[in-house]
Structure 1
């Protein structure tokens, strides 16, 4: 993204400088040579002049000399023809001249990524005070880091207060307890619509062409809330993209998701996925651990914006024989060129699956050595882990019913309207 922005700025600078140089050159040429009047026909008139290309700050670059020959042929009554013709030809000459382009490139290389001219031209006494402000900024950044550390401690403290409610939610979902009438008192005008939506979301499959949707009929004797977490995953775009068809029978056995915080050494959290006994793997818990840091980078302290995930690790899934959905067997027939005989070779390759989430790529010690694909996978992984921790676990029932999705859609629509209107939330002085 930064590379694209850099190229965009480079293009903008190039366009601006070309316009400035052309304007200056045409103006000087017109005043020096007194272009003929357009009130009468002028034929075969030649303008030949050496010019020195100068930058916007009036400093000559490479002393590039250009010989420009221009034939001006204008009609009577036209006052703009000579100037227009000169400008057009000069543009072509300048754009095709290597010396000019090299001078422009040198100038652009010297200004892209550097402070503004205003800052450069400030007196030393003012620049000295700016350094003092930057030192103050660094100190406030360290205080901000302490703030986020304390906030994480507070999150760890309140996680203990949330735990009883999450445990009760798990018991109701898995039919370990039946809520009392008092616990079920929750009136809402949208209850009927939500219940209807639940039935459609949890028991309907995506209809194929010319095929009626298959509906699983649930009666009043149904225990708990079937397929709760699978439904949550399928309702959230970020997670539904990870869930493949072969994953769904396994995720029906997912009974709970918890987040366990580590306060220090290192700062982070662990996502725990609880499964009932199933035919796919032996593990009862699958874990994903995230390591965070909340301190400014020594090389770029002003880029600090709060805690960030820097590393993650999964766990080993003990798949039962023939049940590993993260791999697939590919069969390939090989034909012998000489004898003409064929033989079948089988090869195991990686398969798309939600359970690849527990086997993330390991980043190298030097981040510069990481390839783009692995970097993209880790960035998406960090985002998913953060989303499950911040949104899915605390608001699971609302993602199950779809209410949380409606709230997010409303925020998106408001954002679109603001962009259309071209308005900003902040006030500019």
Structure 2
């Protein structure tokens, strides 16, 4: 039985975080300024005062949004739980969902996919006090790759705005460390790469403070978690579209063949008329 979840995400709404306003120091309007410049300076000071009021309202809105999120996250919790129970009845649901998402599948090697066949549940939860951040939990059946039953990854913003993260240490079984194998292959293939990126799905899960990894976390949180069924069914929808396109192509080919047949009939008709005229001409000459 899975442990009780914390406050779940809806997913988390994009936070209304405004950078501290860099305001010009308020200066007294000089009486020596020309009339036009004096009016401009007064207008700037009034704009700054109005902007202060706008910023205060933005802060108030942010606080209200957090309260609403907290309320609806709690209301969504039983539905997330029910959805997870239903997903558990579908074999290979999560590996199919991840493979169907382009940004996630870009990090999936063959062995990554093999491991993800043992993935039975994914949970995305927010912190209890709705601080900016979230945790992703990956639940696995017993498998030949590692001993962990749950792999967790947390991402949160600190006061400086940097996105640190922490994750569960993966206890790989002997000879099954995919991170080590992936690192060796990647270092040989791209020694000149300037930007550090996750080399595989599990280097992302186990990584820390990597910008690209955090982007992938946002993908899981905002793209996949709200409606994983949509990603799961992508291949089926593509197949249906493909069938429709093939039928359209067949119809076009049939129409093309019909047009060719009609043209041939018309040409044959013209040839028959020409032959009849020739025969009549020969008869008339014979009569003369």
TM-score by length of structure 1 reads: 0.40
> In structure 1, what is the equivalent of residue 69 of structure 2?
155
Asked if 1:315 is matched to 2:168, the reply is yes
Q: CA deviation at 1:239?
A: 0.7
Which aligned pairs between 1:366-385 and structure 2 lie closer than 5 A? 377-378=210-211, 380-385=212-217
> In structure 2, what is the equivalent of residue 125 of structure 1?
39
* Highest RCO, 1 vs 2 (Cα 8 Å, sep ≥ 6): 2
* Higher normalized strand content (fraction of residues): 1
Change (3 A) 1:150 1:281: farther
> In structure 2, what is the equivalent of residue 401 of structure 1?
233
3-state SS in 1 of match to 2:111: coil
Asked if 1:256 is matched to 2:88, the reply is no
Alpha-carbon distance in structure 1 between the residues aligned to 2:178 and 2:219: 24
Q: CA deviation at 1:381?
A: 2.6
Unaligned 5+ residue runs, structure 1?
Answer: 1-120, 175-223, 298-307, 332-349, 363-376, 407-429
* Higher normalized helix content (fraction of residues): 2
Q: CA deviation at 1:327?
A: 0.8
> In structure 2, what is the equivalent of residue 355 of structure 1?
202
Which aligned pairs between 1:17-416 and structure 2 lie closer than 5 A? 123-174=37-88, 224-264=89-129, 266-292=131-157, 310-328=163-181, 352-362=199-209, 377-378=210-211, 380-402=212-234
3-state SS in 2 of match to 1:163: helix
The question of whether the paired residues in 2 share the 8 Å contact of 1:314 and 1:358 is answered with yes
The question of whether the paired residues in 1 share the 8 Å contact of 2:170 and 2:206 is answered with no
Change (3 A) 1:310 1:124: farther
Change (3 A) 1:263 1:127: farther
The question of whether the paired residues in 2 share the 8 Å contact of 1:398 and 1:404 is answered with no
Alpha-carbon distance in structure 2 between the residues aligned to 1:288 and 1:351: 14
Unaligned 5+ residue runs, structure 2?
Answer: 1-33, 186-196, 239-288
Alpha-carbon distance in structure 2 between the residues aligned to 1:404 and 1:134: 56
CA RMSD between the two structures: 3.3
Q: CA deviation at 1:351?
A: 8.8
3-state SS in 2 of match to 1:283: coil
> In structure 2, what is the equivalent of residue 374 of structure 1?
none
Aligned length: 192
The question of whether the paired residues in 2 share the 8 Å contact of 1:234 and 1:243 is answered with yes
